[in-house]
Structure 1
Amino acid sequence: MHRRGFLAASLATVLASPRALAQMKMDDMSNMPGMDHAGHDMGAMGQGPVALPQNQPLRELPLLANEAAGPGLFKARLTAESATARFAADRDTPILAYNGISPGPLIETQEGDRVEITFSNRIEGEPSTIHWHGMPVPADQDGNPMDPVAAGADRVYAFELPEGSAGSYWYHPHPHGRTAEQVYRGLAGAFLVKAKADPIPAAYGDTTLFLTDLRLAADGSMPENTMTDMMNGRVGDQVLVNGQKNPRLAVAMGTKRRLRLYNATNARFLRLAFVNAAMTVIGSDGGLLEAPVATDEILLSPAERVELVVAFDKPGTAILTTLDYDRGWMGPGRPEDKGLALLTADVSDTQAEPMPPLPERLRPIARFGQPTVSRRLVFTETMAMKPTGMEMGFLINGMAFDMGRVDIVARAGDTELWEIVNQADMDHPFHLHGTQFQLIERERDGKVSKPPYLAWKDTVNVARGETVRLVTRQERPGTRMYHCHILEHEQLGMMGVVDVQA
């Protein structure tokens, strides 16, 4: 039997090990038989997903207030705590929130600023951290699992934003063994670092679209992860934009809008198109590209970001929608993601004021030199019978994550070639802490392809059966993480530690 068939069949009869039980908290195993719902809650009485209000005006994410008196310093507080949200019109949902809201407040700074954020962990009985995803921060400010903030404790994260660091970053928890749950319960937010000299015309605006997904039980609560969630990653029943389902945006014909899209879901792959509007990619995880690139569709794996300029040149409705994408699925009930309307733009027949053209050149991106070090990471999944039952895991180079083990010793300033080989049966988005990298090539079935453009990245999808080669360099010493950004896979072992030495 092919490994995927073996694993899927094994899942149907699994007796979880104590480690898996701790992860899944499946005390009564009530979600296991047949796994027909594939991780989707269908309500206590077998209903479909809880209905959410749609077609409300797109709301902007509220800004985190800067408490500093003068320029060059951003000083604020973020508190992680229990809160209540009303996603459905007639029921409340217990969530986790930053400063009482989810998504968390939008942090907006400028390259060159110093950032000082006091984090208060008020999650009862759980450690947490804040990981500044993709940002060039010192290792001891990165919020990695080895540096937890205990329940009831505070700490200050402080770092400088170097020149050239403008980009679309985000923040989320990274405590060992609790990251997936804290994120799907609501802890995530966008962090924009603005350029001092931005080549994108100000007339295009700058709109953040923070994409999350949500699963609600019939009573409005969030069901805990099932066995299928742990195997495939949690995929919710609803996809939200800035916490709303299919909000609406009113624009005049001829308008160009700058949109920053974030995939902040635990495990959902978003292959996106804009019906009745033209998309141009202008930026990626680590900021602007060298030049704009027209496109018909984009794929955002979990944790990836993209900056677009969208031209609304036709009156009527223009819809940001999902296309089908097969990223590999264990067991029955693969989610149907095709044709979801995420955002609807109402384009009037009134002509907008003439807008300046998008520049042909955006910024230079320096190429890395010849690598002096090569590394190879192989992703696999396993399922084995143990004395306590069947145990599953997601491995890198045959090993599960061990917080006390250093997997890679690197030297600050060395240019390295990393080869990520996916021998597993599903896609895995690879994320490296502490730096950005440049994708060099992909190889699948003996065919090598080059990326369509040069970009700074901190997360890249590695499709099943694919090898991805990238070049990177760590500039700051300290402990860093690398892992699959399907958060349930990270928790089940697909993570490693790199010790960057001076």
Structure 2
Amino acid sequence: MHRRTFLMGLTTLAVGGSAAAQMKMDGMQHEMPRMDMGGGQDMGASANAEPMLPEGEPLRELPRLANESTVPGSFKARLTAEPATARFAEGLDTPILAYNGTNPGPLIEVKEGDRVEIEFNNNIPGEESTIHWHGMPVPADQDGNPMDPVASGSSRTYAFDLPEGSAAAYWYHPHPHGKTAAQVYRGLAGAFLVKPKSDPIPAEYGDTILMLTDLRLATDGTMPASTMADLMNGRVGDHVLVNGQKNPKLSVGEGAKRRFRLYNATNARFLKLAFDGALMTVIGSDGGLLEAPVAAKGILLSPAERLELIVSFEKPGPITLYTLEYDRGWMGPGRPADAGLTLLTVDVSDSPAQPAPELPRKLRTIAALGAPAANRRFVFTETMGMGGMSMGSGGMSMDSHGMQMGGEDMSMGAGGMKMEFLINDASFDMNRIDVVSKAGEVELWEVVNQADMDHPFHVHGTQFQVVERERGGKVSRADYLSWKDTVNVARGETVRLLLRQDRPGPCMYHCHILEHEQLGMMGIVNVQA
């Protein structure tokens, strides 16, 4: 369905006055207290002044998860997901969800070859949860996928061995069916860094994690519930944070070279980034280092992607990491003004930095995957249908803010409105296997986006190699060979990638705009031994 038809149906719903809806999306429940059809960036914001977040504080390092094991090559720890309070704006306490009380969650740092055992305690009242080890080479039964939930008040231990060659910047977040989007934007996400036994990047460059999240606050400091616009486009906050801070400050000496690992841990925000006045060199992607450094002027991080950079600060003065314009497609009013946001300020002093070795020309070898044994095609579309509606327990009413949904149970079913994001014309069904693959076989996946906006595509259980892109009849090869677990597929674009699943069991593939995943844009590949 094209954007005009999609939005006409949405507008019909908005102006329906007393028309009530209890909306059922394949058993998923959604909080949607309001739909505002007016303009402006935040379709759920109050007309009152927004809370002001402090800026310019020193960039803080992410707290580390302590290793409770004394055995070499072993990492044991505990992660607890539970309600907590954060203070993003002065004088306002914000209820959040947190791992071990921190936002973002604690940094987990291990080495390739380590044995990892993490006890997960779900203390979220009334909600299932999991921990998904995003991008990591873990067995299917340790992946934290939606088929393996941890009930509220329960715990389980995730255990896996990290193979040689798995060094990369991964992350972890919940993946419960129908609750992933809300649990992530409420605060459940953390960085997982697997270090190599021998690192070709000079230690003098440091190793700085920049975990990018976004935040929407009401005037009382709470996080407003998601709106209809959030479901259509994915939830985009009013503030972009770095390690939980707004525009923090980092100080370096003149001539310094710094290694940054950038994580896009937002639900739905596309971040096109550049450093103003500093040279950027890409050295790694989702699955670790590239074969060789690549100079870059701007980089695009779609939701869930990671990138490693070396940034050279050659001249004294303030250097900013800022956002560039990028059109990811947007349905309806309220498109955020994403260009020109300052995310990080680097103060470069006129005192020279300590001399550091040059970046090696060769970082590692990446073996190209061979000829595929199978070809698969995945087509992204969206659909919205209107029908008779029935009043739910909370009901629906119109007020000065627009459409107001009462209660927390919003579902779509027979006779109601049905909005879905689809893969191959099918909405996600946890009891259906969509693809059967054979462990160890290379496959060519063709991902076709016929929808009205970009969709970042994520595959569990493996890393893949992007072969080529096609848009408007023009085919282009990948800029460089790399290992990826998430790739943006622009609207009207086809992306072809090679992958091999080596671990038997069910794995997910889905759009990593988390609201779209919940509205059906997800499938299951069963890997057979």
Please tell me the TM-score bracket, short chain as reference: over 0.9
Measured in 1, the distance between the counterparts of 2:22 and 2:325 equals: 34
Aligned 8 A contact 1:484 1:490 in 2 = yes
Measured in 2, the distance between the counterparts of 1:329 and 1:372 equals: 37
Per-residue CA deviations over 1:447-472 (Å, capped at 9, x if unaligned) read: 00111111000000000000000000
2:45 aligned with 1:42: yes
Q: Secondary structure at the match of 1:74?
A: strand
2:118 aligned with 1:112: no
2:325 aligned with 1:324: yes
Per-residue CA deviations over 1:265-298 (Å, capped at 9, x if unaligned) read: 0000000000011100000000000000010000
Measured in 1, the distance between the counterparts of 2:22 and 2:284 equals: 44
Alignment of 1:333-412 (within 5 A): 333-388=334-389, 389-412=416-439
Alignment of 1:53-72 (within 5 A): 53-72=54-73
- Once the two structures are TM-superposed, the CA of residue 7 in structure 1 deviates from its matched residue by 1.1
2:191 aligned with 1:190: yes
Alignment of 1:93-242 (within 5 A): 93-242=94-243
| Equivalent position amino acid for 1:25 in 2 | E
| Equivalent position amino acid for 1:281 in 2 | V
| Equivalent position amino acid for 1:419 in 2 | E
Corresponding residue of 1:261: 262
Per-residue CA deviations over 1:251-275 (Å, capped at 9, x if unaligned) read: 0000000000000000000000000
Aligned 8 A contact 1:440 1:451 in 2 = yes
Measured in 2, the distance between the counterparts of 1:494 and 1:138 equals: 23
| Equivalent position amino acid for 1:254 in 2 | G
- Once the two structures are TM-superposed, the CA of residue 353 in structure 1 deviates from its matched residue by 1.7
Corresponding residue of 1:277: 278
- Once the two structures are TM-superposed, the CA of residue 13 in structure 1 deviates from its matched residue by 2.5
- Once the two structures are TM-superposed, the CA of residue 16 in structure 1 deviates from its matched residue by 4.8
1:448 pairs with one of 471, 475, 480: 475
- Once the two structures are TM-superposed, the CA of residue 127 in structure 1 deviates from its matched residue by 0.3
Q: Secondary structure at the match of 1:299?
A: strand
> Whose RCO is larger (CA < 8 A, sep 6+)?
2
Corresponding residue of 2:11: 12
Measured in 1, the distance between the counterparts of 2:154 and 2:65 equals: 21
Identity %: 69
Alignment of 1:286-325 (within 5 A): 286-325=287-326
Measured in 2, the distance between the counterparts of 1:122 and 1:210 equals: 24
Measured in 2, the distance between the counterparts of 1:99 and 1:111 equals: 24
Aligned 8 A contact 1:483 1:496 in 2 = yes
Q: Secondary structure at the match of 1:288?
A: strand
Corresponding residue of 2:441: 414
Measured in 1, the distance between the counterparts of 2:313 and 2:269 equals: 27
Per-residue CA deviations over 1:455-490 (Å, capped at 9, x if unaligned) read: 000000000000000000000100100000000000
Measured in 2, the distance between the counterparts of 1:348 and 1:42 equals: 40
Residue 33 to residue 254, structure 1, CA distance change in 2 (3 Å)? closer
Aligned 8 A contact 1:168 1:287 in 2 = yes
- Greater shift in the superposed pair: 47-56 or 96-105: 47-56
Aligned 8 A contact 1:77 1:119 in 2 = yes
Root-mean-square deviation (CA), in Å? Answer: 1.2
Corresponding residue of 2:30: 24
Aligned 8 A contact 2:35 2:43 in 1 = no
- Once the two structures are TM-superposed, the CA of residue 22 in structure 1 deviates from its matched residue by 5.8
Corresponding residue of 2:490: 463
Aligned 8 A contact 2:249 2:344 in 1 = yes
TM-score, scaled to structure 2: 0.92
| Equivalent position amino acid for 1:276 in 2 | G
Q: Secondary structure at the match of 1:115?
A: strand
Residue 130 to residue 151, structure 1, CA distance change in 2 (3 Å)? same
Q: Secondary structure at the match of 1:228?
A: helix
Q: Secondary structure at the match of 2:181?
A: helix
Measured in 1, the distance between the counterparts of 2:371 and 2:234 equals: 37
- Once the two structures are TM-superposed, the CA of residue 17 in structure 1 deviates from its matched residue by 4.9
Residue 123 to residue 170, structure 1, CA distance change in 2 (3 Å)? same
Measured in 2, the distance between the counterparts of 1:22 and 1:62 equals: 34
Measured in 1, the distance between the counterparts of 2:505 and 2:42 equals: 38
Measured in 1, the distance between the counterparts of 2:377 and 2:435 equals: 11
Q: Secondary structure at the match of 2:320?
A: strand
Structure 1: stretches of 5+ with no match in the other structure:
none
- Once the two structures are TM-superposed, the CA of residue 386 in structure 1 deviates from its matched residue by 2.9
Measured in 2, the distance between the counterparts of 1:119 and 1:35 equals: 42
1:426 pairs with one of 430, 453, 463: 453
Per-residue CA deviations over 1:216-264 (Å, capped at 9, x if unaligned) read: 0000000111000000000000000000000000000000000000000
| Equivalent position amino acid for 1:413 in 2 | G
- Once the two structures are TM-superposed, the CA of residue 326 in structure 1 deviates from its matched residue by 0.5
Measured in 2, the distance between the counterparts of 1:206 and 1:9 equals: 49
- Once the two structures are TM-superposed, the CA of residue 362 in structure 1 deviates from its matched residue by 0.1
Aligned 8 A contact 2:23 2:417 in 1 = no
| Equivalent position amino acid for 1:334 in 2 | R
Per-residue CA deviations over 1:20-43 (Å, capped at 9, x if unaligned) read: 5964323xx5x2242434654433
Q: Secondary structure at the match of 2:67?
A: coil
Measured in 2, the distance between the counterparts of 1:331 and 1:395 equals: 19
TM-score, scaled to structure 1: 0.97
Q: Secondary structure at the match of 2:89?
A: coil
Measured in 1, the distance between the counterparts of 2:45 and 2:82 equals: 28
Corresponding residue of 1:488: 515
Aligned 8 A contact 1:402 1:496 in 2 = yes
| Equivalent position amino acid for 1:492 in 2 | L
Aligned 8 A contact 1:411 1:501 in 2 = yes
Measured in 2, the distance between the counterparts of 1:4 and 1:48 equals: 32
Measured in 1, the distance between the counterparts of 2:203 and 2:193 equals: 16
Aligned 8 A contact 2:113 2:162 in 1 = yes
Corresponding residue of 2:403: none
Measured in 1, the distance between the counterparts of 2:29 and 2:280 equals: 40
- Greater shift in the superposed pair: 346-355 or 137-146: 346-355
Aligned 8 A contact 2:41 2:337 in 1 = no
Q: Secondary structure at the match of 1:218?
A: coil
- Once the two structures are TM-superposed, the CA of residue 167 in structure 1 deviates from its matched residue by 0.1
Measured in 1, the distance between the counterparts of 2:369 and 2:204 equals: 34
